[in-house]
Structure 1
Amino acid sequence: MPYGVIASIDQQDVALAAGADYLESTVVGVLVEEDGEGGWRAAQVDPAHRVPSFAVFVPGSLRLSDPAVPIARIRSYLATALDAIAGVAEPGARIVLGSGAARTIGPDVPVEEGRRRFAEVVVAARDAARERGLEIVLEPLHAGETDLIHTIAEAAAFLDEHGIEGVKIVADLYHVQLEAEPFADVEHLAGRVGHVHVADSGRVPPGQGDWPLTEFLAALRRGGYTGPVTIECRWQDLAAELPDALAAVRAADPAAA
Protein backbone atom coordinates (compact mmCIF):
# COMPACT_ATOMS: atom_id res chain seq x y z
CA MET A 1 0.00 0.00 0.00
CA PRO A 2 1.56 3.35 -1.00
CA TYR A 3 1.98 6.13 1.56
CA GLY A 4 3.08 9.62 0.58
CA VAL A 5 3.36 13.22 1.69
CA ILE A 6 2.30 16.62 0.35
CA ALA A 7 5.21 18.98 -0.24
CA SER A 8 6.78 21.12 -2.91
CA ILE A 9 8.21 19.08 -5.75
CA ASP A 10 11.74 20.21 -4.86
CA GLN A 11 11.32 18.12 -1.69
CA GLN A 12 10.79 14.89 -3.64
CA ASP A 13 14.24 13.45 -2.91
CA VAL A 14 13.93 14.31 0.78
CA ALA A 15 10.52 12.65 1.03
CA LEU A 16 11.58 9.47 -0.75
CA ALA A 17 14.79 9.22 1.29
CA ALA A 18 12.70 9.48 4.46
CA GLY A 19 10.63 6.46 3.41
CA ALA A 20 7.67 7.90 1.50
CA ASP A 21 6.47 5.91 -1.49
CA TYR A 22 5.66 9.13 -3.34
CA LEU A 23 5.48 12.89 -3.06
CA GLU A 24 2.15 14.63 -3.71
CA SER A 25 3.25 17.89 -5.27
CA THR A 26 1.64 21.25 -4.69
CA VAL A 27 0.72 23.13 -7.86
CA VAL A 28 0.26 26.87 -7.22
CA GLY A 29 3.60 28.66 -7.08
CA VAL A 30 5.45 25.43 -7.81
CA LEU A 31 4.26 23.98 -11.11
CA VAL A 32 2.51 27.16 -12.24
CA GLU A 33 3.55 30.73 -11.53
CA GLU A 34 2.16 34.19 -12.22
CA ASP A 35 3.30 35.63 -15.54
CA GLY A 36 3.32 39.26 -14.39
CA GLU A 37 0.37 40.19 -16.61
CA GLY A 38 -2.45 38.78 -14.52
CA GLY A 39 -2.14 35.30 -15.96
CA TRP A 40 -0.29 32.08 -15.26
CA ARG A 41 2.43 30.04 -16.94
CA ALA A 42 4.07 26.68 -16.37
CA ALA A 43 7.19 26.73 -14.21
CA GLN A 44 10.34 24.93 -15.23
CA VAL A 45 10.63 21.79 -13.12
CA ASP A 46 12.23 18.43 -13.80
CA PRO A 47 11.61 15.94 -10.97
CA ALA A 48 13.56 12.70 -10.85
CA HIS A 49 10.35 10.69 -10.50
CA ARG A 50 6.88 11.07 -11.98
CA VAL A 51 4.24 12.26 -9.52
CA PRO A 52 0.99 10.34 -8.79
CA SER A 53 -1.07 13.10 -7.13
CA PHE A 54 -1.27 16.86 -6.73
CA ALA A 55 -2.74 19.39 -4.30
CA VAL A 56 -3.15 23.18 -3.91
CA PHE A 57 -4.53 23.29 -7.44
CA VAL A 58 -6.07 26.76 -7.86
CA PRO A 59 -4.86 30.16 -6.59
CA GLY A 60 -7.16 31.86 -4.10
CA SER A 61 -7.40 34.92 -6.33
CA LEU A 62 -9.28 33.02 -9.05
CA ARG A 63 -12.91 32.99 -7.93
CA LEU A 64 -14.32 29.70 -9.13
CA SER A 65 -17.85 30.21 -7.78
CA ASP A 66 -18.44 33.73 -9.05
CA PRO A 67 -20.43 33.93 -12.32
CA ALA A 68 -18.97 37.41 -12.88
CA VAL A 69 -15.59 35.80 -13.56
CA PRO A 70 -15.50 34.78 -17.25
CA ILE A 71 -15.54 31.01 -17.53
CA ALA A 72 -12.96 31.38 -20.31
CA ARG A 73 -10.50 32.78 -17.75
CA ILE A 74 -11.04 29.77 -15.51
CA ARG A 75 -10.69 27.35 -18.42
CA SER A 76 -7.46 29.09 -19.42
CA TYR A 77 -6.02 28.58 -15.94
CA LEU A 78 -7.14 24.95 -15.89
CA ALA A 79 -5.45 24.29 -19.24
CA THR A 80 -2.20 25.91 -18.10
CA ALA A 81 -2.14 24.10 -14.78
CA LEU A 82 -3.13 20.73 -16.17
CA ASP A 83 -0.55 20.96 -18.95
CA ALA A 84 2.10 21.68 -16.33
CA ILE A 85 0.88 18.77 -14.20
CA ALA A 86 0.79 16.40 -17.17
CA GLY A 87 4.43 17.19 -17.84
CA VAL A 88 5.51 15.62 -14.53
CA ALA A 89 2.59 13.28 -13.68
CA GLU A 90 2.19 9.55 -13.73
CA PRO A 91 -0.58 8.35 -16.07
CA GLY A 92 -3.92 8.63 -14.29
CA ALA A 93 -2.55 10.95 -11.60
CA ARG A 94 -5.13 12.50 -9.25
CA ILE A 95 -5.51 16.26 -8.81
CA VAL A 96 -7.19 17.37 -5.59
CA LEU A 97 -9.71 20.17 -6.14
CA GLY A 98 -9.78 21.73 -2.69
CA SER A 99 -8.76 25.37 -3.08
CA GLY A 100 -11.06 26.74 -0.39
CA ALA A 101 -10.41 30.44 -0.97
CA ALA A 102 -10.91 30.08 -4.73
CA ARG A 103 -14.20 28.24 -4.46
CA THR A 104 -15.73 30.32 -1.65
CA ILE A 105 -19.00 31.85 -2.84
CA GLY A 106 -18.91 34.82 -0.49
CA PRO A 107 -21.63 37.30 0.48
CA ASP A 108 -21.74 39.09 -2.88
CA VAL A 109 -22.97 36.08 -4.92
CA PRO A 110 -26.36 34.36 -4.48
CA VAL A 111 -25.69 30.92 -3.06
CA GLU A 112 -27.47 28.93 -5.78
CA GLU A 113 -25.72 30.89 -8.53
CA GLY A 114 -22.38 30.21 -6.86
CA ARG A 115 -23.14 26.51 -6.53
CA ARG A 116 -24.14 26.28 -10.21
CA ARG A 117 -20.97 28.05 -11.30
CA PHE A 118 -18.78 25.80 -9.16
CA ALA A 119 -20.51 22.74 -10.60
CA GLU A 120 -19.70 24.07 -14.07
CA VAL A 121 -16.07 24.46 -13.02
CA VAL A 122 -15.89 20.92 -11.60
CA VAL A 123 -17.14 19.54 -14.92
CA ALA A 124 -14.68 21.71 -16.87
CA ALA A 125 -11.81 20.54 -14.66
CA ARG A 126 -12.90 16.90 -14.91
CA ASP A 127 -13.07 17.02 -18.69
CA ALA A 128 -9.82 18.93 -19.15
CA ALA A 129 -8.04 16.49 -16.83
CA ARG A 130 -9.43 13.48 -18.71
CA GLU A 131 -8.10 14.89 -21.98
CA ARG A 132 -4.64 14.67 -20.44
CA GLY A 133 -5.06 11.24 -18.84
CA LEU A 134 -5.52 12.72 -15.36
CA GLU A 135 -8.28 12.63 -12.73
CA ILE A 136 -9.93 15.36 -10.66
CA VAL A 137 -11.01 14.49 -7.10
CA LEU A 138 -13.19 16.87 -5.07
CA GLU A 139 -12.14 17.69 -1.52
CA PRO A 140 -14.56 18.76 1.22
CA LEU A 141 -13.04 21.50 3.39
CA HIS A 142 -14.07 22.60 6.87
CA ALA A 143 -16.18 25.72 7.34
CA GLY A 144 -13.20 27.79 8.42
CA GLU A 145 -11.71 27.46 4.93
CA THR A 146 -14.73 27.80 2.64
CA ASP A 147 -18.49 28.23 2.58
CA LEU A 148 -19.07 25.45 0.04
CA ILE A 149 -18.94 21.64 0.62
CA HIS A 150 -17.69 20.78 4.09
CA THR A 151 -18.16 17.02 4.43
CA ILE A 152 -17.88 13.87 2.37
CA ALA A 153 -21.66 13.56 2.53
CA GLU A 154 -22.08 17.14 1.26
CA ALA A 155 -19.64 16.46 -1.58
CA ALA A 156 -21.59 13.37 -2.65
CA ALA A 157 -24.87 15.31 -2.48
CA PHE A 158 -23.40 18.20 -4.50
CA LEU A 159 -22.14 15.90 -7.25
CA ASP A 160 -25.49 14.09 -7.38
CA GLU A 161 -27.52 17.31 -7.34
CA HIS A 162 -25.65 18.59 -10.40
CA GLY A 163 -25.47 15.26 -12.21
CA ILE A 164 -21.68 15.21 -12.15
CA GLU A 165 -20.37 11.72 -12.86
CA GLY A 166 -16.80 10.47 -12.86
CA VAL A 167 -15.58 12.63 -9.97
CA LYS A 168 -14.58 10.96 -6.72
CA ILE A 169 -14.18 12.57 -3.31
CA VAL A 170 -11.23 13.18 -1.01
CA ALA A 171 -11.54 11.92 2.56
CA ASP A 172 -9.31 14.15 4.70
CA LEU A 173 -9.14 13.36 8.42
CA TYR A 174 -8.41 17.01 9.24
CA HIS A 175 -11.67 18.21 7.73
CA VAL A 176 -13.63 15.17 8.93
CA GLN A 177 -12.56 15.93 12.49
CA LEU A 178 -13.22 19.67 12.36
CA GLU A 179 -16.69 19.06 10.88
CA ALA A 180 -17.37 16.17 13.29
CA GLU A 181 -18.41 13.98 10.37
CA PRO A 182 -19.30 10.52 11.74
CA PHE A 183 -17.01 7.66 10.75
CA ALA A 184 -20.18 5.73 9.92
CA ASP A 185 -20.72 8.21 7.10
CA VAL A 186 -17.10 7.86 6.03
CA GLU A 187 -17.52 4.09 5.82
CA HIS A 188 -20.87 4.36 4.00
CA LEU A 189 -19.42 6.67 1.35
CA ALA A 190 -15.98 5.08 1.07
CA GLY A 191 -16.88 3.63 -2.31
CA ARG A 192 -17.04 7.20 -3.62
CA VAL A 193 -13.67 8.15 -2.13
CA GLY A 194 -10.83 8.44 -4.60
CA HIS A 195 -8.06 9.86 -2.43
CA VAL A 196 -7.17 10.20 1.27
CA HIS A 197 -5.31 12.80 3.33
CA VAL A 198 -4.35 12.40 6.98
CA ALA A 199 -2.86 14.48 9.77
CA ASP A 200 -2.95 14.42 13.54
CA SER A 201 -4.65 16.85 15.94
CA GLY A 202 -3.93 20.46 15.06
CA ARG A 203 -2.48 19.21 11.74
CA VAL A 204 0.74 17.99 13.36
CA PRO A 205 2.38 14.89 11.83
CA PRO A 206 0.61 11.57 12.48
CA GLY A 207 1.75 10.06 15.76
CA GLN A 208 2.31 13.42 17.44
CA GLY A 209 -1.32 14.03 18.42
CA ASP A 210 -4.40 12.18 19.59
CA TRP A 211 -6.75 11.97 16.62
CA PRO A 212 -8.37 8.57 15.83
CA LEU A 213 -6.30 7.73 12.76
CA THR A 214 -6.83 3.98 13.15
CA GLU A 215 -10.62 4.33 13.31
CA PHE A 216 -10.67 6.66 10.30
CA LEU A 217 -8.60 4.37 8.09
CA ALA A 218 -10.47 1.29 9.30
CA ALA A 219 -13.78 2.91 8.31
CA LEU A 220 -12.45 3.67 4.85
CA ARG A 221 -11.07 0.18 4.36
CA ARG A 222 -14.28 -1.48 5.58
CA GLY A 223 -16.18 0.67 3.14
CA GLY A 224 -14.03 -0.50 0.24
CA TYR A 225 -11.36 2.17 -0.23
CA THR A 226 -8.19 0.45 -1.48
CA GLY A 227 -6.05 3.41 -2.50
CA PRO A 228 -3.01 5.26 -1.13
CA VAL A 229 -2.83 7.53 1.90
CA THR A 230 -1.12 10.94 1.81
CA ILE A 231 0.07 12.85 4.86
CA GLU A 232 -0.87 16.54 4.79
CA CYS A 233 0.35 18.41 7.86
CA ARG A 234 2.63 21.12 9.18
CA TRP A 235 6.28 20.15 9.49
CA GLN A 236 9.03 21.55 11.64
CA ASP A 237 11.60 19.38 9.83
CA LEU A 238 10.30 17.15 7.02
CA ALA A 239 13.36 14.91 6.82
CA ALA A 240 13.49 14.36 10.58
CA GLU A 241 9.76 13.94 11.26
CA LEU A 242 8.54 12.06 8.19
CA PRO A 243 9.91 8.57 9.02
CA ASP A 244 8.01 8.40 12.32
CA ALA A 245 4.88 9.89 10.73
CA LEU A 246 4.90 7.27 7.98
CA ALA A 247 5.42 4.53 10.56
CA ALA A 248 2.41 5.83 12.52
CA VAL A 249 0.20 5.78 9.41
CA ARG A 250 1.29 2.31 8.39
CA ALA A 251 0.70 1.04 11.93
CA ALA A 252 -2.80 2.56 11.92
CA ASP A 253 -3.86 1.24 8.53
CA PRO A 254 -5.46 -2.24 8.40
CA ALA A 255 -4.46 -2.45 4.72
CA ALA A 256 -0.78 -2.25 5.63
CA ALA A 257 -0.85 -5.55 7.52
Structure 2
Amino acid sequence: MAHGVIAPIDQQRLALAAGADYLESTVVGTLVAPSPTEGAWEPVRLAPSPARPVPSFAILIPGDLRVADPSVPMGRIRAYARTALDAVAAVAGHGAKIVLGSGAARTIGPDVPASEGAARFAEVLILFRDEARARGLEIVLEPLHRGETDLIHTVGEAAQFLDAHGIEGVRIVADLFHIQLEAEPLAQVELLAGRVGHAHIADTDRVPPGQGDWPLGEFLAALRRGGYTGDVTLECRWEDLAAELPDALAAVRAADPAHRS
Protein backbone atom coordinates (compact mmCIF):
# COMPACT_ATOMS: atom_id res chain seq x y z
CA MET A 1 0.00 0.00 0.00
CA ALA A 2 1.12 3.56 -0.73
CA HIS A 3 0.27 7.07 0.45
CA GLY A 4 -0.17 9.91 -2.05
CA VAL A 5 -1.75 13.31 -2.51
CA ILE A 6 -4.26 14.93 -4.87
CA ALA A 7 -2.83 17.87 -6.83
CA PRO A 8 -2.49 19.03 -10.43
CA ILE A 9 -0.09 16.89 -12.41
CA ASP A 10 2.45 19.71 -12.73
CA GLN A 11 3.08 19.31 -8.97
CA GLN A 12 4.08 15.65 -9.27
CA ARG A 13 7.81 16.24 -8.79
CA LEU A 14 7.14 18.49 -5.79
CA ALA A 15 4.89 15.87 -4.18
CA LEU A 16 7.39 13.06 -4.73
CA ALA A 17 10.23 15.18 -3.35
CA ALA A 18 8.14 15.89 -0.24
CA GLY A 19 7.79 12.15 0.43
CA ALA A 20 4.57 11.12 -1.33
CA ASP A 21 4.58 7.69 -2.93
CA TYR A 22 2.51 9.07 -5.81
CA LEU A 23 0.49 12.04 -7.01
CA GLU A 24 -3.22 11.62 -7.76
CA SER A 25 -3.79 14.05 -10.60
CA THR A 26 -6.89 16.11 -11.13
CA VAL A 27 -8.50 15.81 -14.58
CA VAL A 28 -10.72 18.86 -15.22
CA GLY A 29 -8.60 21.91 -15.97
CA THR A 30 -5.40 19.88 -15.69
CA LEU A 31 -5.56 17.15 -18.32
CA VAL A 32 -8.54 18.51 -20.28
CA ALA A 33 -9.80 22.04 -20.85
CA PRO A 34 -12.67 23.66 -22.78
CA SER A 35 -12.04 23.81 -26.52
CA PRO A 36 -12.98 26.72 -28.82
CA THR A 37 -16.02 24.67 -29.88
CA GLU A 38 -18.81 25.46 -27.44
CA GLY A 39 -19.53 22.58 -25.07
CA ALA A 40 -16.50 20.57 -26.18
CA TRP A 41 -13.27 19.69 -24.36
CA GLU A 42 -9.75 18.92 -25.53
CA PRO A 43 -6.53 17.53 -24.02
CA VAL A 44 -4.05 19.88 -22.38
CA ARG A 45 -0.49 19.74 -23.69
CA LEU A 46 1.71 18.89 -20.72
CA ALA A 47 5.17 20.34 -20.33
CA PRO A 48 7.17 18.76 -18.90
CA SER A 49 5.81 15.22 -19.09
CA PRO A 50 5.12 13.47 -15.78
CA ALA A 51 8.17 12.00 -14.05
CA ARG A 52 6.39 8.65 -13.61
CA PRO A 53 3.04 7.08 -14.56
CA VAL A 54 0.09 8.32 -12.50
CA PRO A 55 -1.82 5.63 -10.54
CA SER A 56 -5.03 7.52 -9.72
CA PHE A 57 -7.08 10.54 -10.77
CA ALA A 58 -9.83 12.77 -9.39
CA ILE A 59 -12.14 15.64 -10.46
CA LEU A 60 -13.28 13.75 -13.55
CA ILE A 61 -16.34 15.61 -14.91
CA PRO A 62 -16.89 19.39 -15.24
CA GLY A 63 -19.70 20.73 -13.10
CA ASP A 64 -21.73 22.10 -16.02
CA LEU A 65 -22.02 18.69 -17.73
CA ARG A 66 -25.20 17.43 -16.06
CA VAL A 67 -24.75 13.68 -16.25
CA ALA A 68 -27.88 12.90 -14.18
CA ASP A 69 -30.18 14.91 -16.46
CA PRO A 70 -31.86 12.79 -19.17
CA SER A 71 -32.28 15.88 -21.37
CA VAL A 72 -28.51 16.09 -21.87
CA PRO A 73 -27.65 14.04 -24.98
CA MET A 74 -25.68 10.88 -24.22
CA GLY A 75 -23.58 11.66 -27.27
CA ARG A 76 -22.25 14.78 -25.57
CA ILE A 77 -21.43 12.83 -22.41
CA ARG A 78 -19.81 10.04 -24.42
CA ALA A 79 -17.66 12.52 -26.33
CA TYR A 80 -16.44 14.07 -23.09
CA ALA A 81 -15.77 10.65 -21.54
CA ARG A 82 -13.62 9.57 -24.47
CA THR A 83 -11.67 12.84 -24.56
CA ALA A 84 -11.05 12.83 -20.80
CA LEU A 85 -10.17 9.15 -20.56
CA ASP A 86 -7.82 9.36 -23.55
CA ALA A 87 -6.03 12.22 -21.75
CA VAL A 88 -5.88 10.17 -18.55
CA ALA A 89 -4.62 7.07 -20.35
CA ALA A 90 -1.76 9.07 -21.88
CA VAL A 91 -0.18 9.60 -18.43
CA ALA A 92 -1.64 6.74 -16.38
CA GLY A 93 -0.14 3.53 -15.17
CA HIS A 94 -1.96 0.36 -16.22
CA GLY A 95 -4.98 -0.26 -14.04
CA ALA A 96 -5.01 3.32 -12.73
CA LYS A 97 -8.11 4.28 -10.78
CA ILE A 98 -10.27 7.25 -11.74
CA VAL A 99 -12.53 8.63 -9.01
CA LEU A 100 -16.02 9.54 -10.20
CA GLY A 101 -17.16 12.01 -7.59
CA SER A 102 -18.03 15.17 -9.53
CA GLY A 103 -20.84 16.30 -7.25
CA ALA A 104 -22.10 19.25 -9.27
CA ALA A 105 -22.16 17.23 -12.48
CA ARG A 106 -24.11 14.34 -10.98
CA THR A 107 -26.59 16.44 -8.98
CA ILE A 108 -30.12 15.64 -10.13
CA GLY A 109 -31.71 18.90 -8.99
CA PRO A 110 -35.35 19.87 -8.52
CA ASP A 111 -36.16 19.97 -12.24
CA VAL A 112 -35.63 16.21 -12.83
CA PRO A 113 -37.60 13.40 -11.12
CA ALA A 114 -35.24 11.64 -8.72
CA SER A 115 -35.83 8.18 -10.20
CA GLU A 116 -35.11 9.41 -13.73
CA GLY A 117 -31.97 11.21 -12.61
CA ALA A 118 -30.70 8.15 -10.78
CA ALA A 119 -31.39 5.95 -13.80
CA ARG A 120 -29.51 8.32 -16.10
CA PHE A 121 -26.55 8.49 -13.73
CA ALA A 122 -26.44 4.69 -13.62
CA GLU A 123 -26.32 4.68 -17.42
CA VAL A 124 -23.50 7.24 -17.39
CA LEU A 125 -21.57 5.32 -14.74
CA ILE A 126 -21.70 2.20 -16.94
CA LEU A 127 -20.52 4.28 -19.92
CA PHE A 128 -17.51 5.59 -17.99
CA ARG A 129 -16.80 2.13 -16.57
CA ASP A 130 -16.71 0.58 -20.02
CA GLU A 131 -14.72 3.39 -21.67
CA ALA A 132 -12.19 3.26 -18.82
CA ARG A 133 -11.93 -0.52 -18.97
CA ALA A 134 -11.21 -0.35 -22.71
CA ARG A 135 -8.15 1.76 -21.84
CA GLY A 136 -6.90 -0.47 -19.03
CA LEU A 137 -8.29 1.88 -16.37
CA GLU A 138 -10.82 1.55 -13.53
CA ILE A 139 -13.66 3.86 -12.51
CA VAL A 140 -14.37 4.01 -8.76
CA LEU A 141 -17.53 5.66 -7.41
CA GLU A 142 -17.17 8.24 -4.65
CA PRO A 143 -19.98 9.01 -2.19
CA LEU A 144 -20.16 12.77 -1.51
CA HIS A 145 -21.81 14.59 1.38
CA ARG A 146 -25.22 16.17 0.77
CA GLY A 147 -23.75 19.66 0.66
CA GLU A 148 -22.06 18.69 -2.65
CA THR A 149 -24.73 16.57 -4.34
CA ASP A 150 -28.19 15.08 -3.91
CA LEU A 151 -27.18 11.59 -5.09
CA ILE A 152 -25.18 8.92 -3.17
CA HIS A 153 -23.85 10.25 0.13
CA THR A 154 -22.34 7.28 1.98
CA VAL A 155 -20.43 4.10 1.31
CA GLY A 156 -23.60 2.23 2.20
CA GLU A 157 -25.68 4.23 -0.28
CA ALA A 158 -23.08 3.65 -2.99
CA ALA A 159 -23.29 -0.11 -2.48
CA GLN A 160 -27.10 0.05 -2.57
CA PHE A 161 -27.06 2.14 -5.76
CA LEU A 162 -24.72 -0.23 -7.56
CA ASP A 163 -26.76 -3.24 -6.50
CA ALA A 164 -30.12 -1.65 -7.33
CA HIS A 165 -28.98 -0.82 -10.86
CA GLY A 166 -27.13 -4.10 -11.42
CA ILE A 167 -23.80 -2.36 -11.96
CA GLU A 168 -20.90 -4.78 -11.68
CA GLY A 169 -17.20 -4.05 -11.80
CA VAL A 170 -17.37 -0.68 -10.03
CA ARG A 171 -15.80 -0.34 -6.60
CA ILE A 172 -16.36 2.44 -4.06
CA VAL A 173 -14.21 5.24 -2.66
CA ALA A 174 -14.10 5.61 1.13
CA ASP A 175 -13.38 9.28 1.89
CA LEU A 176 -13.08 10.28 5.54
CA PHE A 177 -14.23 13.85 4.78
CA HIS A 178 -17.61 12.71 3.46
CA ILE A 179 -17.90 9.93 6.04
CA GLN A 180 -17.49 12.48 8.84
CA LEU A 181 -19.92 14.99 7.36
CA GLU A 182 -22.53 12.29 6.83
CA ALA A 183 -21.84 10.71 10.25
CA GLU A 184 -21.55 7.31 8.58
CA PRO A 185 -20.57 4.71 11.20
CA LEU A 186 -17.07 3.31 10.74
CA ALA A 187 -18.58 -0.10 11.47
CA GLN A 188 -20.46 0.18 8.18
CA VAL A 189 -17.28 1.23 6.38
CA GLU A 190 -15.54 -1.84 7.81
CA LEU A 191 -18.44 -4.07 6.76
CA LEU A 192 -18.23 -2.81 3.17
CA ALA A 193 -14.45 -2.48 2.95
CA GLY A 194 -14.29 -5.46 0.61
CA ARG A 195 -16.11 -3.30 -1.96
CA VAL A 196 -13.80 -0.31 -1.47
CA GLY A 197 -11.35 0.27 -4.31
CA HIS A 198 -9.75 3.53 -3.20
CA ALA A 199 -9.48 5.77 -0.12
CA HIS A 200 -9.19 9.51 0.51
CA ILE A 201 -8.25 11.05 3.83
CA ALA A 202 -8.09 14.50 5.42
CA ASP A 203 -8.26 15.94 8.89
CA THR A 204 -10.92 18.27 10.32
CA ASP A 205 -12.74 20.10 7.49
CA ARG A 206 -10.01 19.07 5.00
CA VAL A 207 -6.96 20.45 6.80
CA PRO A 208 -3.87 18.23 6.36
CA PRO A 209 -3.68 15.14 8.58
CA GLY A 210 -2.18 15.94 11.95
CA GLN A 211 -3.64 19.46 12.06
CA GLY A 212 -7.10 18.47 13.30
CA ASP A 213 -8.88 15.95 15.50
CA TRP A 214 -10.65 13.59 13.13
CA PRO A 215 -10.29 9.80 13.72
CA LEU A 216 -7.59 9.05 11.16
CA GLY A 217 -6.44 5.87 12.87
CA GLU A 218 -9.94 4.54 13.50
CA PHE A 219 -10.91 5.13 9.86
CA LEU A 220 -7.84 3.39 8.48
CA ALA A 221 -8.11 0.55 10.98
CA ALA A 222 -11.73 -0.04 9.97
CA LEU A 223 -10.74 -0.23 6.31
CA ARG A 224 -7.80 -2.55 6.98
CA ARG A 225 -9.82 -4.86 9.27
CA GLY A 226 -12.45 -5.06 6.55
CA GLY A 227 -9.86 -6.22 4.03
CA TYR A 228 -8.91 -3.04 2.16
CA THR A 229 -5.25 -3.28 1.16
CA GLY A 230 -5.05 -0.38 -1.30
CA ASP A 231 -3.59 3.09 -1.40
CA VAL A 232 -4.61 6.11 0.68
CA THR A 233 -4.63 9.57 -0.91
CA LEU A 234 -4.54 12.84 1.01
CA GLU A 235 -7.21 15.25 -0.26
CA CYS A 236 -6.76 18.50 1.64
CA ARG A 237 -6.71 22.27 1.58
CA TRP A 238 -3.05 23.28 1.56
CA GLU A 239 -1.50 26.58 2.54
CA ASP A 240 1.90 25.39 1.29
CA LEU A 241 1.98 21.89 -0.18
CA ALA A 242 5.76 21.48 -0.09
CA ALA A 243 6.00 22.64 3.52
CA GLU A 244 2.96 20.81 4.93
CA LEU A 245 3.01 17.52 3.02
CA PRO A 246 5.90 15.76 4.84
CA ASP A 247 4.25 16.09 8.26
CA ALA A 248 0.82 15.19 6.84
CA LEU A 249 2.21 12.03 5.26
CA ALA A 250 3.95 11.14 8.50
CA ALA A 251 0.66 11.52 10.40
CA VAL A 252 -1.19 9.23 7.98
CA ARG A 253 1.56 6.62 7.94
CA ALA A 254 1.66 6.61 11.74
CA ALA A 255 -2.12 6.14 11.81
CA ASP A 256 -2.24 3.40 9.16
CA PRO A 257 -2.01 -0.12 10.61
CA ALA A 258 -0.88 -1.43 7.24
CA HIS A 259 2.11 0.91 7.22
CA ARG A 260 3.07 0.18 10.81
CA SER A 261 3.04 -3.54 10.20
Question: What is the TM-score of this pair, normalised by structure 1?
Answer: 1.00
Q: In structure 2, how many angstroms separate the alpha carbons of the residues matched to 1:202 and 1:70?
A: 36
The one-character-per-residue Cα deviations of 1:134-177 (angstroms, maximum 9, x if unpaired) are: 00000000000000000000000000000000000000000000
Q: In structure 2, how many angstroms separate the alpha carbons of the residues matched to 1:240 and 1:81?
A: 31
**2:167 is the alignment partner of 1:164:** yes
Q: In structure 2, how many angstroms separate the alpha carbons of the residues matched to 1:211 and 1:231?
A: 14
**2:34 is the alignment partner of 1:34:** yes
- Cα offset, 1:36, TM superposition: 2.0
- Cα offset, 1:219, TM superposition: 0.2
Q: In structure 2, how many angstroms separate the alpha carbons of the residues matched to 1:107 and 1:183?
A: 31
The one-character-per-residue Cα deviations of 1:116-146 (angstroms, maximum 9, x if unpaired) are: 0000000000000000000000000000000
**2:230 is the alignment partner of 1:248:** no
The one-letter code matched in structure 1 to 2:42 is R
Summarize the alignment of residues 193-208 of structure 1 with structure 2, pairs less than 5 Å apart.
Answer: 193-208=196-211
Q: In structure 2, how many angstroms separate the alpha carbons of the residues matched to 1:182 and 1:153?
A: 10
Residue 139 of structure 2 corresponds to 136
Question: What is the TM-score of this pair, normalised by structure 2?
Answer: 0.98
Q: How many aligned residue pairs are there?
A: 257
The one-letter code matched in structure 2 to 1:184 is A
Summarize the alignment of residues 1-257 of structure 1 with structure 2, pairs less than 5 Å apart.
Answer: 1-38=1-38, 39-45=40-46, 46-257=49-260
5+ long unaligned stretches in structure 2: none
The one-character-per-residue Cα deviations of 1:54-101 (angstroms, maximum 9, x if unpaired) are: 000000010000000000100100000000000000000000000000
5+ long unaligned stretches in structure 1: none
The one-letter code matched in structure 2 to 1:192 is R
The secondary structure found in structure 2 opposite 1:240 is: helix
State which drifts further: 29-38 or 122-131: 29-38
Deviating above 2 A after TM superposition, structure 1's stretches of 4 or more consecutive aligned residues are none
The one-letter code matched in structure 1 to 2:5 is V
RMSD, aligned CA:
0.4
